[in-house]
Chains A and B, each alone.
Chain A
């Protein structure tokens, strides 16, 4: 075992929590290494001094002071409980009164029959849809025999009655 390992195990060595083999190793190292032996002795002696420091005792008024604080605490807790329970009781009373009032009012209304009143019916006229204005062009139709030369056609045209297709100008939307 070297000094480093000794230092690492020193906490457990002081507290006596090392295994048998480790303990033998530590003891052997102390026997061989003067520095580590001195360090071990110094730590053990200083700890002994600390552990033997006088224990202080609570002052004579400690208990009285504590009990007085505890009494205050109990009183505060009790008054807080009473305060809260008083508030709760008041809230319950108010709520009960309101509930009773509501129930009695409802029962009163059940005995007197009333006319059934329907809500007013509100109807609205839809706005008329505006269709686009269309103006069909008047048609001119002339019946004439086909396949004739122009001049005969012209001759016939004088003889043939002219028929005009009737075309009305009207708005589609009007129908």
Chain B
């Protein structure tokens, strides 16, 4: 079906097409891709790669693996976009795929605790992480304190139970609505609210001693 649809092309060429794609909403970009415009897929990648990477990274806590999983998300999107129900939001669909891959990854790790331990240690000892939490104009002791605080926050997120963390990241980092989270995590609205409330309270409890 997609190969037939690809015969249709967006008439404009080069930069103009990219600009037009950039101005479109997700649904229109998806339609353009299914209509044969391959560059529309690059536009989707451009829009979602960072968001999905952060979502998966905050869920599984492993940057390299998160990149691999984001790649897997896009491969799946590419292969199955012709089956995507266009009456729904593309972002919800993409996050659902990402969420399922992240869950599978965590499930696989829980079966192999050694891998989990190595990953966590590697993450927390990684000096190459961006230091955007700090203000470079601050004094060294301030920088140290802020960096330490960032590590505490990251560790605190990692301490949340998996299903709480999932909802928490989707809401607080990605700004998803309760309804979208319910769809992505395949839970009912009540469960989402309950998990989010508990996750917020638990997170606040863990972080509180380091905030003063």
Return the CB mask of B138-179 against A: 1 if under 8 Å, else 0: 000000000001100110110000000000000011000000
* Stretch of A52-60, A102-110, A155-163 at the chain-chain interface: A52-60
Q: How extensive is the interface on chain B, given as a class? A: 35 or more
- Is A11 a contact of B197 with CB atoms below 8 Å? yes
- Is A50 a contact of B74 with CB atoms below 8 Å? no
A14 within 8 A of B: yes
In the bound complex, CA of A109 to CA of B129 (Å): 85
Main secondary structure of the interface of A (DSSP, over half): helix
Distance (whole angstroms) from the CB of B18 to the closest CB of chain A: 15
How many chain A residues have a CB neighbour from B under 8 Å?
28
Taking CB atoms and an 8 Å cut-off, the chain B residues in 32-61 that contact chain A are 41, 45, 49-50, 53-54, 57-58
Closest-by-CB residue of B relative to A57 is: B50
Q: Which of A50, A63, A73 is close to B203, meaning CB atoms less than 8 Å apart?
A: A50
Report if A54-B70 is in contact (Cβ < 8 Å); known contacts: A11-B196, A42-B204.
no
Taking CB atoms and an 8 Å cut-off, the chain A residues in 99-120 that contact chain B are none
Binding site for B on A (CB under 8 A): 10-11, 14, 39, 42-43, 45-47, 49-59, 62-63, 65-66, 69-70, 73, 81
Q: Mind listing 11 A-B residue pairs with CB under 8 Å?
A: A11-B196, A45-B211, A46-B207, A46-B211, A47-B200, A49-B153, A50-B153, A50-B203, A53-B154, A55-B50, A66-B45
